[in-house]
Amino acid sequence: MTLRLHDARRGGLHPFAPVGDRPSIGLYVCGVTPYDTGHLGHAFTYVGFDVLHRYLEYLGHDVTYVQNLTDVDDDMLRKARETGEDYLELGNRHVTTFLTEMAALNWLPPDHYPRATEHIPHMVELIGSLLDKGIAYAADGNVFFHVAADPSYGQLSKLSLAEMLPIANERGNDPNMPGKRDPLDFVLWQRSLPDEPAWPSPWGAGRPGWHVECSAMAMAYLGTRFEIHGGGGDLLFPHHESELAQSEHATGDRPAVAFWTHAGMLSYQGHKMSKSLGNLVLVRDLLCTYPGDAIRHYLVSQHYRTEIEFVDGDIEASAAAVARLRQACLRADEFAASGAGRGSPPEVAEHRRRFLAAMDDDLDTPRAMTELAALAELALESDEPATVVAAGEAVTELGGRILGLRLAPQADAVSASTAA
Ligand SMILES: [Zn+2]
């Protein structure tokens, strides 16, 4: 079996393979804009990509995982203005909270965790290339990407130009910025307001647009062509569409990304979880009630690309399921310690095979977890010592290494201390 993953640009599932002869798989995931507390929807996205990260490593790939921090953009500056806090201090505070919560969910930290403010010269250089290529224009201290000059714009989201504008406007586009030739043209560089941070550039002091930040950071760590770019489904347009356009026009290397993958959105009380609707379920609040592994189990029980509706009490069932997996590992440990024989029972091999086949099928974790539960039942119910040991070891390996559940007997203590 080969791992097949979804790619939004080509549509459908495609066999995964490294790009060229690169020694390491490049995985870039759009990170948080740290102006507020993280909610369960963020956790669903990052746990989903954590499983992908772990599975690629399980398959023997070396992975370079990059997740950025959008520490300067409209939302950051607006929130800093509202609270009277320095925008960098505001960002640092929320980054610390985010990392603590993700550690409680047993998320493997990225190899690189760049902040946009550390890469401004890369962004200026990239914008310069787009101007040289004639796909961007400067006006009034701002620089815009000229969408009408790019016939391939829309290749990722599959939206028509008419469909794009209302969505772009909802997600940060200002159609009336001075100097714009077309309302859909997006900002590469913008003149800063008097109370905003500003960096020098050939077009005057200002700050980068949101989309160009990710193009520059991805390229700085992963080069002009890499394997996987991820993020929440609400980033597909305009963020990823614009990122793709910038990266490919700036370098001429196509495709810049082999797989554009997106996590599904999480709803609560019938609506997509959002600050404006006030229906946020905060990770911090859940961690007061449940161990991190129960929350992780709940998130991994859903396929990463599906839209899910969270219902209060859903995590209870996951807490019970994690307890059962741990009992299975414990019983297997006890049998192994008492000198039980080793073997390769065919029913254990069959569940393991089906678990991996489900993972190869675009990370079908719900199906994989059915096999994991069946292995736990074998470890708990079998009268055959070799079966108990082999099934318990399979639970530890597949549930621990791939799904990231802490199943060792002391795991509860670890989970509680990282959440504190
Ligand atoms: Zn991004």
**CA 51 / ligand 1 centre spacing (Å):** 19
What's the pLDDT score for residue 274? 84
Structural domain includes residue 5 = no
**CA 37 / ligand 1 centre spacing (Å):** 18
Are 228 and 328 contained in the same domain? Answer: no
Are 264 and 307 contained in the same domain? Answer: no
**CA 66 / ligand 1 centre spacing (Å):** 11
Asked whether 272 and 265 are in contact (CB, 8 A), the reply is yes
Are 385 and 238 contained in the same domain? Answer: no
What's the pLDDT score for residue 35? 87
**CA 394 / ligand 1 centre spacing (Å):** 36
Separation between Cα atoms, residue 213 and residue 73, nearest integer Å: 10
**CA 181 / ligand 1 centre spacing (Å):** 25
List the CATH number of the domain containing 199: 3.40.50.620
Domain boundary among 241, 272, 303: 272
Are 257 and 350 contained in the same domain? Answer: no
Structural domain includes residue 2 = no
Are 403 and 331 contained in the same domain? Answer: yes
**CA 88 / ligand 1 centre spacing (Å):** 19
Structural domain includes residue 13 = no
Structural domain includes residue 4 = no
Domain boundary among 272, 304, 338: 272
Separation between Cα atoms, residue 221 and residue 224, nearest integer Å: 9
Are 256 and 298 contained in the same domain? Answer: no
Separation between Cα atoms, residue 242 and residue 130, nearest integer Å: 12
**CA 411 / ligand 1 centre spacing (Å):** 33
Residue 265 belongs to what H/E stretch?
none
**CA 21 / ligand 1 centre spacing (Å):** 26
Are 395 and 357 contained in the same domain? Answer: yes
Structural domain includes residue 28 = yes
Domain count for the chain, please give it: 2
Which pLDDT tens digits describe the chain residue by residue (420 residues)?
A: 799 999 999 999 999 999 988 889 999 999 998 888 889 999 999 999 999 999 999 999 999 999 999 999 888 999 999 999 999 999 999 999 999 999 999 999 999 999 999 999 999 999 999 999 999 999 999 999 999 999 999 999 999 999 999 999 999 999 999 999 999 999 999 999 999 999 999 999 999 999 999 999 999 999 999 999 999 999 999 999 999 999 999 999 999 999 999 999 999 999 998 888 889 999 999 999 999 999 999 999 999 999 999 998 999 999 999 999 999 999 999 999 998 888 889 999 999 999 999 999 999 999 999 999 999 999 999 999 999 999 999 999 999 999 999 998 655 544 444 443
Are 168 and 302 contained in the same domain? Answer: no
Look at the alpha carbons of 411, 413, 416, 420 in this order and tell me if their dihedral is positive or negative: negative
**CA 282 / ligand 1 centre spacing (Å):** 22
**CA 221 / ligand 1 centre spacing (Å):** 14
Are 206 and 305 contained in the same domain? Answer: no
**Domain containing residue 42:** 19-272
Q: 400: which DSSP letter?
A: I
Structural domain includes residue 283 = no
Are 383 and 250 contained in the same domain? Answer: no
What's the pLDDT score for residue 163? 97
Structural domain includes residue 278 = no
Separation between Cα atoms, residue 144 and residue 131, nearest integer Å: 9
Separation between Cα atoms, residue 100 and residue 97, nearest integer Å: 5
Are 259 and 301 contained in the same domain? Answer: no
- Residue 269 neighbours by CB under 8 Å, 6+ apart: 279
**CA 150 / ligand 1 centre spacing (Å):** 20
Structural domain includes residue 12 = no
pTM of the predicted protein model: 0.95
Are 267 and 298 contained in the same domain? Answer: no
Asked whether 24 and 64 are in contact (CB, 8 A), the reply is yes
